[in-house]
Amino acid sequence: MTTTTKLAVCNLCEAICGLELTIEDGTVTGVRGNADDPLSRGHICPKGVAIADIYTDPDRLRRPVRRVTTGSKTEWHEIGWDEAFELVTDRIAETVREHGGSAVGVYLGNPNVHSLGSQTHLPAMLRTLRSRNIYSATSVDQLPHQYVSHLMYGHQLLIPIPDIDRTQYFLVFGGNPMASNGSLMTVPDVAKRLKAVRDRGGKVVVIDPVRTDTAEVATRHPFIRPGTDAAFLLALVNAVLELGPPRIERYAGKLGGLDAALAAIRSFGVEAAAECTGISAAEVRTIAAELRAASSAVVYGRMGVSTQPFGTSANG
């Protein structure tokens, strides 16, 4: 028996954790986190542990199959790759000719976004289809987040990345990085990183309607009524302004429209949010004071503030 060790990465989500694979006679017999990976630092989640089981699952399709229905009986027949490509091409072309490009729906998401072939060829294919019905992990998960990045920074992928390893105050809205490894933030081994915030004297505060895994390890967890994050954030900004003008010296010459934006929300005040959010004005002001006093602070929002009627406002 020949046993070797290979280094790899898990491509099932954006964290791309490093893996160490044990291979015996060509078969993966062990999967563990790569302790030397500079990002994941040995962290591995259940998906990574099971990656070899996914590959060897007896129910996994290894060749294309075609559905054949005879009367009330449906069977799946294995076909070759050439036949499969020809069948798909013909059916898509036929659909577009008969009903137009938007009759073809496309869904994109992990892990194809981590494929070089998808990155180089998929855009051309989508332009060829000319379909308006294109969906992705973005459209069901984070579109308001990316839309705000587009409006504020000029591109939907210019998303600010929280510096969790240096912040002294980590405020989380509608996110559960303990489960997601910090989606759009990408911080594998996030449990140790959150613990490190508190170990260096910082605070982790979670605003969420659910007692999540992250809320369990937080310094404080005010419960909020679902869908009211925008109201809470308006109140929070006003509470910060009560303590003094915004400290924007480091952003001189890089901001536009700030005065108009702050003037537009000033009439909302702080107290008005309490009734709809379920979080008292006193609690809002406490968080505002902690944010302003912290030597470095992060406000991180994720899926919970995107998938709601006021997602764009909440992310702005």
Q: For residue 6, what pLDDT is reported?
A: 94
- CATH assignment, 3-56: 3.30.200.210
The whole-number pLDDT of residue 225 equals 96
- Which residues in the chain come in under a pLDDT of 70? none
Q: Where in the chain is the domain with CATH 3.40.228.10?
A: 143-247+255-315
The DSSP-derived string for 25-77 is: TTEEEEEEE-TT-TTTTT---HHHHTHHHHHH-TTS--S-EEEEEETTEEEEE
CATH architecture of the domain formed by 143-247+255-315 = 3-Layer(aba) Sandwich (3.40)
Query: Do 227 and 213 form a contact (C-beta atoms < 8 A)?
Result: no
**Residue 149 near residue 187 (C-beta atoms within 8 A):** no
218 token code pair: 């937080």
pLDDT digits (tens, 9 = 90+) for 241-278: 999 988 888 887 888 888 998 999 999 999 999 999 99
Q: Each residue of 197-245: pLDDT tens digit? A: 999 999 999 999 999 999 999 999 999 999 999 999 999 999 999 999 8
For residue 96, the one-letter residue type is V
How many whole angstroms separate alpha carbon 254 and alpha carbon 137?
31
The reported pTM is: 0.80
Instruction: Kindly report, as residue ranges, where domains of CATH 3.30.200.210 are found in the chain.
Output: 3-56
